[in-house]
Chains A and B, each alone.
Chain A
Amino acid sequence: MNPLILAEAAPGVAADFSQETIWASIVKAVLIVVFLLTSVLFAIWFERKVVARMQVRPGPNWHGPFGLLQSLADAMKLLLKEDLTVTRADRFVYLLAPMISVFCSLLVFAVIPFGPSLPFPWTDWTTPAQLTDFPVAVLYVLAAASLGVYGIVLGGWASGSTYPLLGSVRSTAQVISYELAMGLSLVSVFIMAGSMSTSQIVSSQTQIWWFIPLAPAFVIYVISMIGETNRLPFDLPEAEGELVSGYMTEYSSMKFAWFFLAEYINMLNVSAVCVTLFLGGWRAPVPDGFLGGALNEGWLPVIWFLVKLWAVMFVFVWVRGTLLRLRYDQFMVFGWKVLIPVALAWVVVLAVVQWLQRVQEVSYQQFIPVIIGTAVVFIAVMWFWPEKKEAPPGAGKEKEPVDAFAGGFPVPPLPGEKLPPSKRFGKEVHGE
């Protein structure tokens, strides 16, 4: 057995890594890091430029063509700033936190397929255009995201200051609760694709991209991915008006830059997962078999992937340029009382439908009357549902005075209840 070959072909994975050597993996890993870092530089410029155009101003246009070197200049500025460490900081954790953030954000792209097998230039060699893939690749993405939260939590705690602590607590609650909704929306893709490996999910989208049949899950994913990355309108952890800048308040220079970098890489991560799971991955936006499938071969898929990736990134910026920040309680209510129940219900409905189709072999034609019937019943119920009447607590209570010593112990009256008039009321005070 060749020790340089890393793995046998894993069951349930479409991409074939059986010919992969360790050198190819190292090259790919380096390429991914380079891609992510340059993408972040581009993303910062892209965001500023697009938001500027939405606000009818030119945006950065001074450094380089179209202001493209602006983010490079910003990065230089950050590097040269004074590196502060707060006196009350827990030094080790304070330094560790931004590193955890960046490290975990770099992990995700390892399982994102940029394309099918790519020919190596000047050789007859082909290799899958992703670093690795395994049967639970998408769960690995969730795991990396949940580890990344540690960077935020520890950063806020280690700063030894109030605003960062509040920001990090908010951020953690937010990421954990939105990760639930996100995970549930991903489950419907697992059900349809029958796999959790990214390459298998992409190859299951030859007929139709999953965002059409799984539209509710797609909408939930898009909402929760914005919540997960702490972006507007969900950027409560760093809400400037309330928390200075949340968990990064006490960070400066390169340590701040790490957090900044992690945030933008996370945006790229969730966008790439969105593209891979819902938008057909690297597949060309044409019907399967168009031009004999020539658009899905060679290096072209990489272009489709990047176009889709930046389309999702545009949505991020668009949302930021359009919507206002939510209030924290509204945000949590939305996550727990709307997103998660809807996602759960959707998964149950989808599982039942899939079971009927695959196990009971019910055809689409038989489904239609059922769907129409359910819709009619639902609308009828909603139509005749009695409207909830707002009754303030204590309003419908009788006006009789309550017995304050009902159980043998004195109990204060509840709001709206009245005590009997005191026996001493109106009496003269004697003995003075």
Chain B
Amino acid sequence: MNPAGLVISTGETVLFWVIAPLMVLAALGLLFVKRAVHAAMCLVFVMVSMAVLYIAQEAPFLGVVQVVVYTGAVMMLFLFVLMLVGVDASDSLTETIRGQRWIGLLIGLGLAVVLGSVVARAAFPPAVGLNGGDPGGVANPQALARVLFGDYVVAMEAVGVLLVTAAVGALVLTHRRRLTPKQNQRSVADARIKALPDGVVLTPLPSPGVYARSNAMDTPALGPDGEQVPQSVSRVLRIRGQERPAPHVPADELVHTPESERDA
């Protein structure tokens, strides 16, 4: 027990020793797995575990926001891009900048040295908890709100303005001038009506024929006059010549054909 009276419970210790090794494994996985989506999943695991540790350390707001913002929004956008662009193991691993691996390795080592020395030299004061050991203290979100919107309100506003500027800038830069009038349901309908004299059909095309022994989409339907309707077979099939020609539709299935014509 430390002087401030804050006890780290057995549960928290167990939680830490279960989660921390898993986090390290996932972080290593991030470096070594082949597929980009798997790496993203490793990162998500690290983030969620970190949120769990935050919550265990009396910072539920930070933990939950970590999940909502980083895991729920930022990583999701990453994943989106990965999935849509289709980054995969088959991507080329050739160096595009000469010696980039060595530079990367050097910078990585430097970062590791800096972080290691900082962690090694850090002296931890006795833990007091976020309420300073005062059980009746303000709840976590309120305290955070007071700091953010009281002490650092100018910085908050500056960051807010910066982000909005960036977002609006991105919109402006990707904005394209509209060259043609915008299509809507009404204008599309009007255009189709206008195109009627050119042989455009307003209604959906007739579906293929359904017969007792064949209801495949290559069999043409019969019109009310008993004639076959060519449009009822998909255009692609017709162009490819895969439409089942008329004689192949068994004559005895043409129930609409008058008796006299069937024999002919």
The residues of A with any CB-CB pair to B shorter than 8 Å are 1, 3, 6, 8-13, 90, 92-93, 96, 134-136, 139-140, 142-143, 146-147, 149-150, 153-154, 157, 165, 168-169, 172, 176, 179, 195-196, 392-394, 414-415
Contacts and interface: CB of A to CB of B under 8 A. Distances in A.
Interface string B13-55: 0000000000000000000000101100100100010010000
A136 B141 contact: yes
Given A140-B64, A142-B68, A169 B135 contact: no
B141 A153 contact: no
Contacts of A134: 60
A136 B61 contact: yes
B64 A146 contact: no
B245 interface: no
Interface in B125-178: 131, 135-142, 178
Contacts of A90: 35, 37
B79 interface: yes
A169 B84 CA distance: 9
A149 B11 CA distance: 30
Interface in B174-207: 178-181
B7 interface: yes
A153 B60 contact: no
Interface string B58-88: 0011001101100111001001100110000
Contact of B131 (A11, A13, A414): A11
25 contacts: A1-B7, A11-B131, A11-B137, A11-B138, A12-B139, A12-B141, A90-B35, A135-B140, A136-B60, A136-B61, A143-B51, A143-B72, A146-B67, A146-B68, A146-B72, A147-B67, A149-B76, A150-B76, A154-B41, A165-B83, A169-B83, A179-B72, A196-B141, A393-B179, A393-B180
B6 to A, nearest CB: 11
B2 interface: no
A147 B79 CA distance: 13
A415 B60 contact: no
A392 B190 CA distance: 15
Given A11-B138, A11-B139, A135-B141, A143 B64 contact: yes
Given A153-B76, A157-B37, A11 B60 contact: no
B76 A135 contact: no
If over half of B's interface residues share one DSSP class (helix, strand or loop), that class is named, otherwise mixed; here it is helix
Contacts of B68: 139, 142-143, 146
B83 A157 contact: yes
B76 A176 contact: yes
A414 B176 CA distance: 13
B10 interface: yes
B260 interface: no
Given A140-B64, A169-B80, A3 B10 contact: yes
A8 B5 CA distance: 14
A136 B179 contact: no
B67 A392 contact: no
A393 B180 CA distance: 6
Nearest to B140: A135
B100 interface: no
Contacts of B76: 146, 149-150, 153, 172, 176
A150 B44 contact: yes
Contacts of A172: 76, 80
A147 B73 contact: no
Nearest to B79: A153
Q: Lowest 7 A-B CB distances belong to which pairs?
A: A146-B72, A12-B139, A143-B67, A135-B139, A392-B181, A11-B139, A139-B64
B96 interface: no
A426 to B, nearest CB: 30
A8 B135 contact: yes
Contacts of B7: 1
B147 to A, nearest CB: 15
Given A147-B72, A393-B181, A139 B83 contact: no
B73 A176 contact: yes
B9 interface: yes
B12 to A, nearest CB: 11
Nearest to B10: A3
B65 A139 contact: yes
Contacts of A146: 67-68, 71-73, 76
B230 to A, nearest CB: 25
Nearest to A195: B139
B48 A147 contact: yes
Contacts of B142: 12
A6 B44 CA distance: 28
Contact of B135 (A9, A140, A179, A415): A9
Contacts of A150: 44, 76, 79
Interface centre among A1, A9, A135, A143 (most CB of B within 10 A): A143
B83 A153 contact: yes
Contacts of A415: 179-180
A1 B71 CA distance: 36
A194 B156 CA distance: 22
Contacts of A142: 64, 68, 72
B61 A135 contact: yes
A48 to B, nearest CB: 29
Contacts of A1: 7
Given A11-B138, A96-B41, A135-B140, 19 more contacts: A8-B135, A11-B135, A11-B137, A11-B139, A12-B139, A13-B139, A135-B139, A136-B64, A140-B60, A142-B64, A142-B72, A143-B51, A147-B71, A149-B76, A153-B76, A169-B83, A169-B84, A172-B76, A195-B139
Contacts of B60: 134-136, 140
Contacts of B83: 153, 157, 165, 168-169
A154 B41 CA distance: 9
A96 B138 CA distance: 40
A176 B83 CA distance: 16
Contacts of B44: 150
Nearest to B48: A147
B136 A11 contact: yes
A90 B131 CA distance: 47
B167 to A, nearest CB: 13
A195 B139 CA distance: 9
A203 to B, nearest CB: 15
A92 B38 CA distance: 10
